[in-house]
Chains A and B, each alone.
Chain A
Amino acid sequence: MRLVGFLLIAIVLALAVFAAARGVGNAYVFYAGYVILQYVVIATAWNILGGYTGYVNFGSSAFFAMGAYSTVVMVELELPIPLPIMVVVGGIVSGIVGLGMGYLTLRLRGVFFAIATLALAIVLETIIVNWDFVGGGRGTYIIRPRSVPLFEDYVQYLFAIMLGLAVIALTTARTIERSTLGYGFATIRDDELAAEASGVPTLRLKLIATTLSGAFMGMAGAPFPYYISYMQPASAFALDYGVNAIAMPMIGGTTSWVGPLIGALLLATLQQLATVMMSGVVNLLIVGVLLIVFVIAAPDGIVGLARKIIARWRT
């Protein structure tokens, strides 16, 4: 029942975060907090494939955008669907894209896989740009509902949904890590030939990883049109998502669910501060500099660094 215990603690923490954000009494906290939480979900999702199985996905923006655009489609069709259901639909759509990508690319390894994922993002962006129904290259307005029950305004509602998603994503990642599936993923990262010889069905596990990873990225993207109000391909397929999705787990540490959480909280908060205090352009510069520092000084990320310090301190 460690799972239930963890989930309870996570929910209590999430409620505390929400109460604290409300306590600050500034609408901007929710506005910025949404982006930070969104990156917690994206980084955790990336890590399920990239950290656990070792397959580096450069095309995170594609999965994020597929989730966002499935919401746009539902809005354009004027379907009376509540946002939480749209999140589930976005997850399913991106999960299917993940499964398809897995089938097409998992014979590729290392850098070739990474390039293929990047290509996928470009192909999907081109399709969306040329699809008038969802606004094409011009983009489209998404009108927020005037009010939602229980919440003071819509951004608070979006924040709460992303908070819930972060809890679900982190709980899933942690559960995988400690399960048979997690061991299977680790063998893929270490040595696929030896994994097969030990009875691990590597192809099936890789497909599970691409599907799960894609699904969570899609879920993170599904509320995005409501957040940004004006949806255009360039904002959903932005370079930021692909780069941050990799940098955050790398800086936090890829072998544990804590790593992407720490990395996302740290980097996304820094980026939000930089946007307010300097300019939005500094964002990726910060990511780049930190990534270089960590790759050189602490290749196992903050979690790896902490473990090393604890081990040294004990002896």
Chain B
Amino acid sequence: MTSLLAVDNLSKRFGGFVALDGVSLAVNAGERVGLIGPNGSGKSTLVNCISGATQNESGTVYFNGRRVDGLKAHQRTRLGLARTFQLPRPFVSVSLAENLKIPLLYAVNARPGQHFKGAALEERCEELLSLVGLADKASRRPSELTQIEMRKLELARAMATEPKLLIADEAMAGLSHSEVAEIVDLLLRLNSEQGITIVMIEHIMSAVMRFSQRLIVFVSGRKIADGMPEEVVRNPEVESAYLGQ
């Protein structure tokens, strides 16, 4: 079986700092993968290199059988690769509904097949907003939202691109216990109901353990573990990275 996402020997440096040092990993279609690691271990850089927000220096990224490194971010989004940002980045000058209309117009309608227009477009925006429980705020501006609502909008906007793979970069940072559970439920639902492959980057271990079928651990730009979550957390190398020796 070929994997949906295959990263091979990926490297990225910022000046003298090596953010990613020959990282290889694969994600299969339909899988739920957790990606953990201490601050500065290269998780977000990896997301940026996969999604095209920054370009890697060496190595390759294959997505859905196609080489995507070198492509612009919007081209990767159109191929079905969606990501959320660690700090929510909504379009502040337009309404919530319009925040979702933009990926529909620019990502979904750019692909061959179904095109959203007129009433169908509005309906789809509403549908996506109700998916994350924001339907009653469709005409509000993002500045009126709370932290968790902002996170949900961020997820809804990524979902609006109709992705095959969703990379959620710390979608739960700064949320309360019950809010974290709510987001994990949402991600699990997206995976089981819509068959979307999800890579979750997270610091909150309870959420990661509940969500992940497989766990990948990063330490200083290298992958040090990759496997069943229960086994990975017992790995002595992972323990020492997290707890010190």
- The chain A residues found within 8 Å of chain B, CB to CB, are 180, 183-184, 186-187, 189-191, 193-203, 255
Contacts and interface: CB of A to CB of B under 8 A. Distances in A.
A197 B107 CA distance: 9
Contact of A202 (B74, B90, B98, B157): B74
Interface string B98-120: 10011101111110000000000
Nearest to A204: B74
B52 interface: yes
A191 B110 CA distance: 20
B62 interface: no
Interface stretch (B76-84, B170-178, B210-218): B76-84
B93 A199 contact: no
B53 A201 contact: no
Nearest to B78: A199
B170 to A, nearest CB: 15
A187 B91 contact: yes
B89 A193 contact: yes
A201 B98 CA distance: 17
Nearest to A190: B91
Contact of B77 (A180, A197, A203): A197
B90 A199 contact: no
Contacts, number: 81
28 contacts: A180-B105, A180-B109, A183-B94, A183-B106, A186-B91, A186-B93, A187-B91, A187-B102, A189-B93, A190-B90, A190-B91, A190-B92, A193-B53, A193-B73, A194-B90, A195-B74, A196-B53, A196-B72, A196-B73, A196-B74, A197-B51, A197-B53, A197-B77, A197-B82, A198-B103, A198-B107, A199-B74, A200-B106
Contact of B103 (A186, A193, A199, A203): A199
Contacts of A193: 53, 73, 85, 89
B77 A196 contact: yes
Contacts of B74: 195-202
A197 B110 contact: no
B72 A194 contact: no
A183 B105 contact: yes
B45 interface: no
Given A183-B106, A198-B107, 20 more contacts: A183-B105, A184-B102, A187-B91, A190-B92, A191-B89, A193-B85, A194-B85, A194-B89, A195-B102, A196-B52, A197-B51, A197-B77, A197-B85, A198-B102, A199-B103, A199-B110, A201-B72, A202-B74, A203-B72, A255-B93
Nearest 6 A/B pairs, CB to CB: A199-B107, A196-B73, A199-B106, A194-B89, A198-B103, A190-B91
Contacts of B197: none
Contacts of A200: 74, 102, 106
A183 B102 contact: yes
Interface string B133-174: 000000000000000000000000110110000000000000
A186 B73 CA distance: 18
Contacts of A201: 72, 74, 106
Given A184-B106, A194-B89, A199 B77 contact: yes
A175 to B, nearest CB: 16
A197 B73 contact: yes
Most chain A beta-carbon neighbours within 10 Å: one of B73, B83, B110: B73
A242 to B, nearest CB: 25
Nearest to A54: B93
A183 B52 CA distance: 22
Contacts of A197: 51, 53, 73-74, 77, 82-83, 85, 158
A199 B109 CA distance: 10
A184 B107 CA distance: 11
Contacts of B109: 180
